[in-house]
Chains A and B, each alone.
Chain A
């Protein structure tokens, strides 16, 4: 029996375009256990969504292709199982909710019918049973008057309600893993709080593992158990959430933390931005993708990708700066000054 619910090893997904090869995901590894939430953080183009789509085998091919790695769901390798088996995995074992619930729902089909359809694809249920289950699911994710709203079309729902409907559909088959790709980015913050609450309740109920993809470190601090920081297709650092926030080792992670305005800041402090522009994915260096913007870069950074270095339990980093030199650099940053004090 496998140790983890999900074990991803050396996942690489490339896109073969006319302009060249885009290494969207480049050697990414992580594990996920039951009842655990992993947050994948990164900016646009960092590869976080492609990593999730690779898991679901939903990367458009061509131009995209998973070129390397193993994706072990228990004893099954999601890279090698047949398309039929994969279809059963989607929905049953792994379900995904997307950023924009309007484009993921069929606009001309009643909400209830869409959920019931998903249920009947995976479970042996009559139409009537599936419809009743849709009502129950909608009620469970907090749609008021679910018995009536099940007859609505997506346009009659607000953004928050659509996202709830998506979650209802995603949990209809009690999946072991829920992938949430920026589930709250399109929503207002009071609605975001509601949706996060729903995801949490669902996780507690089914002991699922959750993969949460987001650029919002606030949401990560709120619900993630561990964090993977991605930049230019690479995992630059990963670890338990407290390690990432209070003992980060990678200059990019420092940069992210220092560039955030905080709602609870008492005195106005100047933000420390990461200088420069996001990298061009077609011309990534063979070494560290952060090299162009890293204030501490040195000789090997551009050409060689550093080995994984374990700095604490479950906390790994890829960085050429020797650890003894690295930590003194970090205390220069305002975020760490505060948490050290």
Chain B
């Protein structure tokens, strides 16, 4: 059993207009997303803005109610959990947010921010909680004296450390990291990424790492799910994704990320996609990527392909792809079939 199992998760937001606030449409932020996260691994969720990746994180924690689909954590159905069960689950599943300026209450001392979970769950005495907060601050590379200060006294990187200390307070099993380093400068970003790796080893944490930055996701994740317009289009082992992407969107995304190495940059071929990401309120029919896809054919506009297991290019790669014309790697050679890959057809059309 995986630690976290997400099946067919959907989150649609209503668009309300007019004085009566009638629902005139829906934003399909997350639209049928399935993946598992194994204990101790880091699952990366990557994609462009509007792809729905942050919404996945929030919906998994039930910070927002799912429209459909299921989430189980250690076998417990998160969507149907009672108040009591939910309280227990909230200890096991924590989140670190992107903006370290908005996610810490400016009027609370660090001691109160980091210790809030302990207080709510009634853990320990006042003195024990104080000691625990001091410990946590040191764990994340700050010092115990910082506990009596306020958030404005800290830099962005230090604030993100405080956010991490807060997430660690209740000894969680899973931490959802929602763009945790995107607001930080490069030199500080590396500090926080290293800290996250150390904490994972020390406390046997499982991470769901959400980011738009493919280099960062690739660095920290064991497996990566690529999202586009509310769907997962490919899941791959992180180590092989760069060399063996199967989905054309993944290929384009990988090729668009500049690599900080002028020699490499000069020899790379860049796939420049046409057009913009369509609005999730009005996703294209068929495969959501087909209007921008260099490989699109007639079948692509009929129905969204399912995410199915495909043979990975390397042993041990549990690869999944949602594409009628995925790239295949036979003996290291890349080729794309002329005939569509029928396994991905939706169940009602097989």
Chain A residues at the B interface, C-beta cutoff of 8 Å:
43-44, 144, 158, 160-161, 188-194, 197, 215-222, 241-242, 245-246, 255-266, 268, 270-275, 277-278, 293
Contact = CB atoms under 8 A, between A and B. Distances in A.
A236 to B, nearest CB: 13
A121 B218 CA distance: 48
B137 to A, nearest CB: 16
Closest 10 CB pairs of A and B: A218-B258, A261-B219, A273-B190, A259-B190, A274-B187, A188-B48, A217-B260, A43-B185, A271-B190, A273-B191
Which of A215, A218, A255, A266 is most buried by chain B, counting CB atoms within 10 A of its CB?
A218
A272 B261 contact: no
B158 interface: yes
Contacts of B219: 261-262, 265, 268, 271
Contacts of A260: 186, 190, 215, 260
A271 B276 contact: no
Interface string B150-189: 0000010110000000000000000000000000011111
Contacts of B191: 273-275
Given A189-B48, A221-B259, A221-B260, A273 B187 contact: yes
B190 A274 contact: yes
Contacts of A256: 186-187
B242 A263 contact: yes
16 contacts: A189-B253, A190-B277, A197-B272, A221-B262, A255-B187, A259-B189, A261-B190, A261-B218, A263-B214, A264-B264, A270-B197, A273-B188, A273-B194, A274-B191, A278-B155, A293-B187
B61 interface: no
Contact of B215 (A188, A245, A262, A266): A262
Contacts of B253: 189-190
Interface string B113-132: 00000000000000000000
B257 A189 contact: yes
Contact of A263 (B155, B190, B259, B275): B259
Contact of A245 (B214, B257, B262): B262
B302 interface: no
A261 B194 contact: no
Given A193-B272, A197-B272, A217-B260, A277 B254 contact: no
Contacts of A266: 239
Given A189-B48, A194-B272, A261 B193 contact: yes
B216 A261 contact: yes
Contact of A222 (B186, B188, B254, B258): B258
Contacts of B264: 221, 264
Contacts of A44: 185
Contact of A193 (B218, B270, B275): B270
Contacts of B265: 218, 221-222
B242 to A, nearest CB: 6
Contacts of B262: 221, 241-242, 245-246
A319 to B, nearest CB: 17
A43 B189 CA distance: 11
B65 interface: no
B257 A43 contact: no
A242 B155 CA distance: 33
Q: How large is the interface on B (under 10, 10 to 19, 20 to 34, 35 or more residues)?
A: 35 or more
Interface of B: 48-49, 155, 157-158, 185-191, 193-194, 197, 212, 214-216, 218-220, 239, 242, 252-265, 270, 272-273, 275-277
Contacts of A293: 187
Nearest to B273: A190
Which of A191, A216, A258 is most buried by chain B, counting CB atoms within 10 A of its CB?
A191
A262 B259 contact: yes
Nearest to B238: A268
A53 to B, nearest CB: 20
B177 to A, nearest CB: 15
Contact of A189 (B197, B214, B218, B220): B214
B49 A188 contact: yes
A257 B272 contact: no
B274 to A, nearest CB: 8
Nearest to B48: A188
Given A221-B265, A263-B242, A43 B259 contact: no
A218 B259 contact: yes
A25 B220 CA distance: 36
A299 B222 CA distance: 44
A181 to B, nearest CB: 16
A79 B3 CA distance: 63
A187 to B, nearest CB: 9
Nearest to B154: A277
A266 B253 CA distance: 18
Nearest to B155: A277
A260 B215 CA distance: 9
B186 A263 contact: no
Nearest to B141: A275
A190 B186 contact: no
Contact of A259 (B48, B187, B256, B261): B187
A309 to B, nearest CB: 23
B186 A43 contact: yes
Given A190-B253, A215-B186, A262 B261 contact: yes
Which of B157, B212, B264 is most buried by chain A, counting CB atoms within 10 A of its CB?
B264
A103 to B, nearest CB: 17
Given A222-B265, A272-B190, A216 B185 contact: no
B158 A192 contact: no
Which of A241, A259, A261 is most buried by chain B, counting CB atoms within 10 A of its CB?
A261
Contacts of A270: 194, 197
Nearest to A267: B239
A209 to B, nearest CB: 19
Nearest to A263: B215
B258 A216 contact: yes
A297 to B, nearest CB: 16
Contacts of A272: 190
A262 B260 contact: yes
A260 B48 CA distance: 20
Nearest to A240: B262
